[in-house]
């Protein structure tokens, strides 16, 4: 039975149909690569925010340094929500190394000065 996916690689959002080995509906090779990865090991880049102690602002935007297994994202978000970073923070600082032993770091994407 065919299954439909929406490609999330670019804003065009192509609807990709997968029916056994038959893959259709993608508009470029990146979409085909995306769906092949999605079928065997779906992964996502995570962006979120983390509370900050002693900074000039109270939350720091963060992201995963690489893609994470899709089924781990909820647990990673819960861990980020429970974690408090301490200012000063520089873009690229690793705030959670090797999150949940997944081989991916959670890093800051904003500079935050100490108050």
**Interface positions with ligand SF4 (CB under 6 A):** 7, 9-10, 12-14, 26-28, 30-31
Task: Write down the least CB distance from residue 23 to ligand SF4, Å.
Answer: 11
| 10 or 77: CB nearest ligand SF4 | 10
Smallest separation (angstroms) from ligand SF4 to the CB of 87: 38
Output 7 or 95, the one with its CB closest to ligand SF4.
Answer: 7
CB of 5 to ligand SF4, least distance (A): 10
Instruction: For CA atoms 56, 58, 61, 62, give the dihedral sign.
Output: positive
Q: How far is the CB of 11 from ligand SF4 (least distance, A)?
A: 7
Tell me whether residue 13 or residue 103 sits nearer to ligand SF4 (CB atom): 13
Nearest in space to 62 (alpha carbons), one of 81, 39, 38: 81
* Residue nearest ligand SF4, CB atom distance: 31
Of 10 and 86, the one with the shorter C-beta distance to ligand SF4 is 10
Rounded to whole angstroms, the Cα distance separating 26 from 13 reads 9
Burial of 21 (0-12, 13-18, 19+ CB in 10 A): exposed
């Amino acid at each position: 039975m065919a299954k439909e996916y929406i490609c999330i690689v670019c804003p065009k959002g192509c609807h990709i149909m997968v029916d056994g080995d038959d893959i259709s509906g993608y508009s470029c090779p990146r979409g085909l690569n995306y769906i092949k990865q999605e079928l065997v090991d779906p992964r996502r880049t995570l962006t979120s925010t983390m509370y900050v102690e002693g900074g000039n602002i109270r939350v720091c935007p963060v992201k995963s340094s690489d893609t994470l297994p899709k089924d781990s994202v909820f647990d990673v978000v819960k861990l980020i929500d429970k974690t408090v970073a301490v200012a000063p923070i520089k873009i690229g600082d690793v705030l959670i190394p090797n999150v949940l032993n997944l081989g991916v770091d959670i890093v800051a994407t904003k500079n935050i000065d100490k108050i």
